[in-house]
Amino acid sequence: MKRDKTPVGLVVVKQYEEGHMGYDEDKNEYNYIIVEGTWRADANSLTVESESADRPLRVVFKNNQPIDAEVITMRDWGEPDGRDYEDNEAGQKERMDDYNARLDKVIAWLQEYDIDTSSLEGEKVGESTQSQEAESIYGPMLSLQSHFVW
């Protein structure tokens, strides 16, 4: 009979990044780290294990105690990769859509922990009256630079 001998808790082999997620309505603080390693909540739970540097664990902490972990694919969670977008309107729309899709993913993740995401909602990029006016007066490049800070 095979038994899981993975230790209970978080075992970190290598840490890549960490960050602050925010607070819930009860003022509990949430943070995360991205690591290679294992997570096991208790002796009766299954082990979650990173697969590689490209598929590490993202561990969520509530008030400095690990509460959750999942394997993620790094390229799906960071800023959009360095791939080339077409230098035309369709390419710029693709870049905006890519940015907004990643932001939506982060917002959904934070909402799982009841963290207020209202400040992130305003960071979505898109067409607005102000940007349309700037494009008509100064051309598309000037207004584009003000919208994209990668």
* pLDDT tens figures, 114-125: 998 888 887 777
| 57, 89: one domain | no
In a domain, 133, yes or no: yes
| 50, 89: one domain | no
In a domain, 2, yes or no: no
Q: Is residue 49 a contact partner of residue 57, using CB atoms and an 8 Å limit?
A: yes
75, 109, 132 — which closes off a domain? 75
pTM of the model: 0.73
pLDDT of residue 67: 95
Cα angle for residues 59, 63, 69 (degrees, 5° grid):
15
Tell me the three state secondary structure of residue 51. coil
Task: Name which residue leads in pLDDT, 146 or 42.
Answer: 42
| 90, 37: one domain | no
In a domain, 102, yes or no: yes
80 band by pLDDT with thresholds 50, 70 and 90: low
pLDDT score of 39 more than 50: yes
Other Cβ atoms closer than 10 A to 16? 14
All residues at 6 or more sequence positions from 62 whose CB lies less than 8 Å from its CB, including other chains: 28, 29, 30, 113
| 71, 86: one domain | no
> Where is average pLDDT lowest: 95-104, 108-117, 131-140?
131-140
| 69, 110: one domain | no
Domain that residue 115 falls in: 79-147
In the chain, how many domains are there?
2
75, 93, 118 — which closes off a domain? 75
